[in-house]
Amino acid sequence: MYKPIESYGVIGDMHSVALVNMDGAIDWCCLPYFDSPSIFAAILDHQKGGSFRIAATQESQHRQMYLPDSNVLVTRFLGSDGVGEVVDFMPVQPAGATKTHEIVRVARAIRGHIRFRLECRPAFDFARRPHRVLLDGRGAIFDSGPQKFALISRFPLHCLGDGVAVDFVLHPGESATFILRQIEDVHARGLLETRLQGEEALHETLQFWRNWLKGCRYQGRWREMVYRSALLLKLLTFQPTGAIVASPTCSLPETIGGERKWDYRYSWIRDAAFTVYAFLRLGFTSEAAAFMSWLEERARQGGAHGPLQVMYGIDGRRELPEVELPHLEGYRGSRPVRIGNAAAEQFQLDIYGELIDTIHLYNKAGSPISYDLWKHLRQMADWVVGHWEKDDDGIWETRGGQQAFVYSKVQCWVALDRVLKIAQERSFPINAERLARERDRIYETIMQRGYHAERASFVQHFGSEAVDAANLIMPLVQFVAPADPRMLGTLERTLEELVSDSLVHRYAIGRGACDGLTGTEGTFNMCTFWLVEALARAGRLDEARFLFEKMLTYANHLGLYGEELGPLGETLGNFPQAFTHIGLIRAAIKLDANLGSEK
């Protein structure tokens, strides 16, 4: 049985994550890294995908919460006979340490004697690679050949098919710790005792998250939601390289049964730049510094269509071949499941604007950038000068042919504008006159060809009449004044044509660009937060605040969002998604600033 996407919480160690359902099941986990093959993927095929469940056997209500200021998740089972809990986390180790990837699960009886059942059924490599189960004194070993995991359990495990199970009763106040750990060798001597290990790991993991969150400068009205968003974004950073994944899942559909579902376990330049921007606005600079190092490496490599590629593997690799997995039925039958991402080959002009805008902020709020990075920026700017007039695939990565997307042109303007600003602020050598001339030419072109006078709105692409929610970014990047009549008109058209009960569609499918796909999709959460920010900037504060508060009601029980929302408020698309939480952080900061200090 498939569970609602929003019924999951997430834990992680900044190498990968696990999705933990309210019923106590881990239904998604790729180890050791975000973009490794899965070990648990029941969310994509509830029969074959594999899962790891620990749950009270009594009939119970389920609740979930995070331990305060952390990514340590507690799943609660409330029954008439008692209350049980499972505490889940992935220990975080210092950068550079020899990493043992683990999922620690601590079952506890809070009230009454609680009977739990543990069932662990891994399915390696998206259920493509068989494994054997070996029981030993410490628990069980799952050996698939290249990958091996030990499940360490004090209670004796029993083989059930290609998994293991155990029932156990915990007395009031008692706990039992289970550790799923990657191992190199089935014969290696390993951990036998889990209680002490689990207690120490829990203490250290809590300390890590709480110390990190102390660096957050946000003190506004929506602290709880902003903190959760920050914790999630940190969870999506890949500690060894500084790369940031867009989402830790793949192929969760944008409509049930629909074609639109992609693998987001990679680092998009756009998403990562937005994430770093959000980190910087919250006062976190070390994440930005790590990303800058990663970025310099990518800039050194170059891309097929320009100085950078649209996205990379978290280790910096450029090839992300997209393949379908026909043996998996997909979430609620949403075939095909895809891994890899063909959009890596796309030509998207906007990435330079988003990136250089973030570097501009980093140069001011983080650390002054190096000359070598500056040289890369200058090279990017030169490239934008030579290419901005080309059609591209756009921010939405449409697969229906390239267009002159207005959003892409705006971001080209941002790229040149911010390079000029950095040059001025740091007195870096540059041919400012040439860049400024080209920047202005982009500006005038957008105003002439990207604006539809009769519709009184900016449009999706040159020659189109359709509106696109991406254009809500214009006042956010200071391309246009928030109350400029052209922007106010765009806001009105967006509200009329793309907004449904305060929620924003990216574009009206069938109007504007053909996106090359069939079916429909939900409303796009980040665009809803962009609308909040655009309204706030336009001085429509009451409206913006109401819309923001309304949007908060669509978060799941833990404050997490996926990519999109369906008509019933259900989460659609990959989950949880950085984009949405970035939008939330930006909108909260802007609203707070415009509302003033009165709370």
Partner 1 sequence: MSDRHEPQTQPPAAYLDRSAADWLAGLRSNDALERRLAAYALGEIGPTAKVLAQTELLAALGDAEPFVRVWAAAALARVAPESIPQALASLVDATGAEVYWIRSLAAWQLGRLGPATPGIDAALPPLEALRNDPDRNVRTEAEHACKRLRRNS
Select 95 or 159, whichever has its Cβ closest to partner 1: 159
Distance CA 87, CA 246 (A): 26
Distance CA 528, CA 109 (A): 42
Among residues 129, 185, 193, 485, the one that binds partner 1 under rule CB under 8 A: 193
Select 190 or 482, whichever has its Cβ closest to partner 1: 190
Among residues 145, 156, 283, 386, the one that binds partner 1 under rule CB under 8 A: 156
DSSP string, 532-549: HHHHHHTT-HHHHHHHHH
Cβ contact 502:544 at 8 Å: no
Phi, psi (degrees; rounded to nearest 5) at 379: -65, -40
Distance CA 289, CA 229 (A): 20
Per CB under 8 A, contacts with partner 1 among 234-273 are none
In 3-state terms, what secondary structure has residue 123?
Answer: coil
Per CB under 8 A, contacts with partner 1 among 219-238 are none
Select 156 or 400, whichever has its Cβ closest to partner 1: 156
Among residues 48, 62, 99, 154, the one that binds partner 1 under rule CB under 8 A: 154
Select 199 or 322, whichever has its Cβ closest to partner 1: 199
Give CA torsion, residues 304, 308, 310, 315, to 10 deg: 100
**Contact residues for 34 (Cβ-Cβ < 8 A; gap 6+):** 15, 16, 17, 236, 238, 245, 248, 265, 314
Q: Pairing mode, if any, of strands 267-268 and 175-183?
A: unpaired
Is residue 60 involved in binding partner 1 (CB under 8 A)? no
- The least CB distance from residue 83 to partner 1, in Å, is 12
Is residue 58 involved in binding partner 1 (CB under 8 A)? yes
Cβ contact 246:578 at 8 Å: yes
Q: What value does the CA radius of gyration of the chain take, rounded to a whole number of Å? A: 24
Select 187 or 390, whichever has its Cβ closest to partner 1: 187
Is residue 510 involved in binding partner 1 (CB under 8 A)? no
Is residue 155 involved in binding partner 1 (CB under 8 A)? yes
Per CB under 8 A, contacts with partner 1 among 120-149 are 135-137
Cα distance between the two ends of the chain:
44
Select 49 or 139, whichever has its Cβ closest to partner 1: 139
Select 171 or 300, whichever has its Cβ closest to partner 1: 171
Distance CA 372, CA 252 (A): 40
Among residues 4, 129, 130, 160, the one that binds partner 1 under rule CB under 8 A: 160
Distance CA 584, CA 100 (A): 33
Is residue 192 involved in binding partner 1 (CB under 8 A)? yes
- The least CB distance from residue 194 to partner 1, in Å, is 9
- The least CB distance from residue 141 to partner 1, in Å, is 12
Per CB under 8 A, contacts with partner 1 among 80-109 are 81-82
Amino acid (1-letter code) at residue 314? I
Select 189 or 599, whichever has its Cβ closest to partner 1: 189
Is residue 28 involved in binding partner 1 (CB under 8 A)? no
Among residues 32, 112, 240, 316, the one that binds partner 1 under rule CB under 8 A: 112
- The least CB distance from residue 46 to partner 1, in Å, is 21
Q: Which two tokens stand for residue 153?
A: 């359990």
Is residue 336 involved in binding partner 1 (CB under 8 A)? no
Among residues 162, 174, 484, 543, the one that binds partner 1 under rule CB under 8 A: 174
Q: Which two tokens stand for residue 225?
A: 């939601």
CB atoms within 10 A of CB 444: 9
In 3-state terms, what secondary structure has residue 69?
Answer: coil
Sites of contact with partner 1 (CB under 8 A) = 58, 81-82, 112-115, 135-137, 154-158, 160, 165-169, 171-174, 192-193, 195-196, 199
